[in-house]
Amino acid sequence: MRRFAIVFLAALTMATLAVPAGASHSRADRLTAMTQNLYVGTDLFELLVPVPECADFDALGIPCSVIVQGGRALDDVAATNYPERAAKIADLIAVRRPDILGLQEVSRVTVIPADPLGNPVGEPVVTDYLQILLDELAARGLEYQVAASVDNADIFPVPTGVLTPQGPAIQNLVGLLDRDVILARPGVKVHADTAMGARFDSAQLSFPLAGQDVEFTRSYVKVDVTVRGRRYAAVNTHLEVEFGPASGPPLYPAANAIQAAQAGELAKILSVEDDPIVLLGDFNSAPDSNNGLEGVPTPYQILAGSGFSDVWNLRSFGSSPGYTCCQAELLDNPVSDLDERIDQIWLGPGLETRWVFANTVGDRPWHKTPSGLWPSDHAGVIGYLGLKR
């Protein structure tokens, strides 16, 4: 942590020296923004992957593969140890102290013990990723407030368990609530009456799960904030996943068209925003992404074409590729696997910079948790912005 602080101070000094002569250094012109995907702790799409050994079994009309893959997913969530990771993420935030922070995959996982037939037999155990992170920040003297939040997919209950010689045996009923959240640093004025979150009206990805069609909802969340005397519209989103043409079950190719539609809808919504926009998120789209759809632009191309500026491209200095995705599913890979830049900070049309310092967060070996886990499967992105009035 000390090493980063020294590097950052040196970098910020260089960025300040790079400001043109006569440019304003007013505190009102400065903004620090960050985006971070917290990672639920498993690949949820594996729930849809068939388990060959399940071919001869079914249970109460629920596919055996869902039960077995659900049990494996729950084991992954335990192995990736979000409480330990949240402590490390809080450490990283405490050093950088962003004014506004966009969070994705802010999960709430509910586990109810069940008998082999799926009947509840115990009290629910709830792991609230948001509250755990807020508590860790508070323990470091940082009382970040929830400026705005939106609920996305709400899946419950999914029977999970193991495969026995007699067939699948249910052990738990598991629920998942996915959220996108904007946090604001103490001292930032949040205009609570402007807070809103809404699901995209564009098509949502749906798939069969536990005997029903489940829609994995994607949304956006927005709130106006005043930072050092200047008002902004802070926006955070997590767009649908982009898949290669040969990956996954047959439903996956539809995700690319859905993702593009969501980005187009968001750009249209924000085109009538009066306040200068700071857009944060996991866009699942890199500058060099190719969705394989002829004539359909990627989310990155849609935002760039709508007048938004990618903060990473505005940096006053630096040559890092800024990769943010993705570490191994169990976060235990010894060397970083990040190889694409899909988490971004964008500035809305008309919002110009005098200088920018930006960096990735949570992707250095010394950022790992005590047990050797990466803080998330995504690196975060931090942007220190000197803005023109």
Considering the domain 2-16+29-387 in this protein, what is its CATH number? 3.60.10.10
What's the chain look like in SS3?
Answer: CHHHHHHHHHHHHHHHHCCCCCCCCCHHHEEEEEEEECCCCCCHHHHHCCCHHHCCCEECCEEHHHHHHHHHHHHHHHHCCHHHHHHHHHHHHHHHCCCEEEEECCCEEEEEEECCCCCECCCCEEEEHHHHHHHHHHHCCCCCEEEEEEEEEEEEEEEEEEEECCEEEEEEEEEEEEEEEEEECCCCEEEEEEEEEEECCCCCEEEEECCEEEEECCEEEEEEEEECCEEEEEEEEECCCCCCCCCCCCCCHHHHHHHHHHHHHHHHHHCCCCCCEEEEEECCCCCCCCCCCCCCCCHHHHHHHCCCEEHHHHCCCCCCCCCCECCCCCCCCCCCCCCECCEEEEECCCCCEEEEEEEEECCCHHHCCCCCCCCCCECEEEEEEEECC
Q: Who has greater pLDDT, 243 or 247?
A: 243
> Residues 16-40: pLDDT tens digits?
433 333 344 444 489 999 999 999 9
* pLDDT (mean) for 224-234: 96
> Residues 74-128: pLDDT tens digits?
999 999 999 999 999 999 999 999 999 999 999 999 999 999 888 999 999 999 9
Report pLDDT for 341.
Answer: 98
Query: pTM for the full model?
Result: 0.91
Report pLDDT for 17.
Answer: 37
Confidence of residue 327 (pLDDT cuts 50, 70, 90): very high
- Listed by start position, the domains of the chain span 2-16+29-387
